[in-house]
A and B are shown apart, each in its own frame.
Chain A
Amino acid sequence: MSTVYSANQHDADIDDNEFAEFEDFDDEEVDQIIKKDTKSESDTQEKVKVTKDSEFIEDEEEEESTVETEDDDEFEQFDEEEFEKPEADKPLPMSKSKEEFKIKPADVPQYLQTRWDSFYMEILMLAGLGVYFLNFLQGKNKNHRLAQTWLSAHKDILDANFSIVGDDGTSKEVQGGTLMKESENVYALWCSGRSCVEGMLVELKFLKRQDLISTIAGMFKPASDQIQIQVDLDQKVMDKFVFAIAQKRSATKLHKDMVDLSQFTEKKNVDRKVDIPSCFQVMSEIGEATNAILDKKVCQVLQKYESCVEYMHFSDQFAGIKSQEEGTPSKLPLGKPVLSFCFNVPGKGKSKPSDMEEMKPLLQLVIYCVDKISRMQLSKEARNKAEKNRQKAEEEYERMTHAQRQEAAQARREEKRRAEKERLLNEEDPDKARKLEERESKKEMRKKQPKMKMMKVKAM
């Protein structure tokens, strides 16, 4: 019996453990007992069975207590069936609770799983943006470095010739040294304060290295960085003539676009006696001026830097590019004396900072031309010819704009009348409107009146 007693004790222990029956630990304890108590195998099975029975009893008691509470509200006779039914359920929860704890891999429905191929488009786009951004940074820095090297290479010449180099026009008192950044690939530098020169604007127009698309386009159609220098001369310094020399490819465009070139000059091929590379074309108004400009030194430079010089355009009637709208502008485009140069940086777009050094002699060429033009005096007949040209241009211009001016006047008159009527119409308060109308009609009457009077006199 004692073993049974101890068994019960054990049971109690085990029962406690039973409550924690969910842990695996419980079986080991049973094994230990087996190992210790080797004499009766059956005892252990019994024990296990006993614990199960006791469990049954406890559960039932719990069930009963819950059942009893329900009975109080219902009629007495249901008691037996109630009692029966829960028992039938009993085994079910027991077994189910066992199964619950084997964790099954949850079968997550199909669309929640992260499949990378649905995000294919996004990844591609983000990658594209990333590449674009990297190229943007790289291009920006390259352009910036090029601009700085150009400035450092040419600083000494500029300082020697201009009292202010790099004025941005915003600060009160003038201080130089600022290379203005128009956009990622265009930098501008304004120098002023020199004899017979109002100012010189240097525009560094690099390739758009920061924009991936234009770099790719650049691979097919090779283009090169450009430096455009525009020198505004003082008014009376320059003699009256228009002259341009340009590479063949850009000559036609220039001739068509530039107001003064199309008006005053005719396109001529380079004549033999002046040894200038054949790839250039000359547009000149006065032969004498052209010969004076294309002297030995200029020709040498043109020969040496044949590919670098895009065009050189000297004119005292410079009025920029023809405006797109067809009608001639209402007022005569005031021409001002300007020397404009356009140089290509060698290296076809893959220009390294060292190429900037090579641009130095070209800047010296610009300074040389400025001095030469300001000293140049044309002969009498050349001046007359130039004067005549300008007169002709002026008259022609007058004729064209005359018709236009008349139309403008007509339009203005109509406009005034329409405005008057409109004001009359949308006048809110009635009495003011009536006053206005009276005034209007009186005016009309007065206009008609004189004719009426004359009629009467004749009649009598």
Chain B
Amino acid sequence: MSSGTNISNDPRRPNKVVRYKPPQPGGPSDDPTPDYMNLLGMIFSMCGLMMKLKWCAWAAVYCSFISFANSRTSEDTKQMLSSFM
């Protein structure tokens, strides 16, 4: 066992550093809320636009805000802007 050979029981191995590979986005761990909220926002804004419903438009604004709050930092800002639009 390599640790046996060196006297100081310092476990650190500077040469064995493995770089961090960010997990692929499809992983099950990320929660779905930002994407759902984004989609919901889009739908609300569409129907708000078409049927001139005021509460629909407001719901769209809320949804896009929520999706912004829960968004992962990796998401690009373009999508945020489009959802706010």
Q: Which of B3, B11, B54 has the most CB of A within 10 A?
A: B11
Asked whether A136 lies within 8 Å of B20 as measured between CB atoms, the reply is: no
From A121, A194, A232, B55 is in contact (CB under 8 Å) with A121
From B14, B33, B62, B70, A129 is in contact (CB under 8 Å) with B62
From A133, A169, A195, A211, B20 is in contact (CB under 8 Å) with A169
Contact with A along B1-29 (1 / 0, CB 8 A): 01100000001111111111110000010
Asked whether B65 lies within 8 Å of A132 as measured between CB atoms, the reply is: yes
Given A194-B11, A194-B16, A129:B65 Cβ within 8 A: yes
From B18, B33, B58, B71, A192 is in contact (CB under 8 Å) with B18
A136 to chain B: which residues have CB within 8 Å?
A: 69
In the bound complex, CA of A371 to CA of B12 (Å): 13
B69 to chain A: which residues have CB within 8 Å?
A: 132, 136, 184, 210-211
Return A294 CB to nearest CB of chain B, in Å: 23
Asked whether A195 lies within 8 Å of B72 as measured between CB atoms, the reply is: no
B39 to chain A: which residues have CB within 8 Å?
A: none
Asked whether B28 lies within 8 Å of A321 as measured between CB atoms, the reply is: yes
Contact with B along A342-368 (1 / 0, CB 8 A): 000000000000000000000000000
Contact with B along A4-27 (1 / 0, CB 8 A): 000000000000000000000000
B80 to chain A: which residues have CB within 8 Å?
A: none
Size class of the contact patch on chain A = 35 or more
B73 located at the interface, meaning its Cβ lies under 8 Å from any Cβ of chain A in the complex: yes
In the bound complex, CA of A371 to CA of B3 (Å): 11
A424 to chain B: which residues have CB within 8 Å?
A: none
Subset of 25 A-B contacts with CB under 8 Å: A128-B62, A129-B65, A133-B65, A161-B12, A163-B13, A164-B17, A167-B17, A167-B19, A167-B20, A168-B20, A169-B19, A169-B22, A181-B73, A183-B70, A183-B73, A186-B72, A192-B16, A192-B17, A192-B20, A194-B12, A195-B13, A198-B18, A199-B18, A201-B20, A232-B18
What is A's interface to B at a CB cutoff of 8 Å?
121, 125, 128-129, 132-133, 136, 160-164, 167-169, 174, 181-184, 186, 190, 192-196, 198-199, 201, 208, 210-211, 213, 232, 320-321, 324, 371
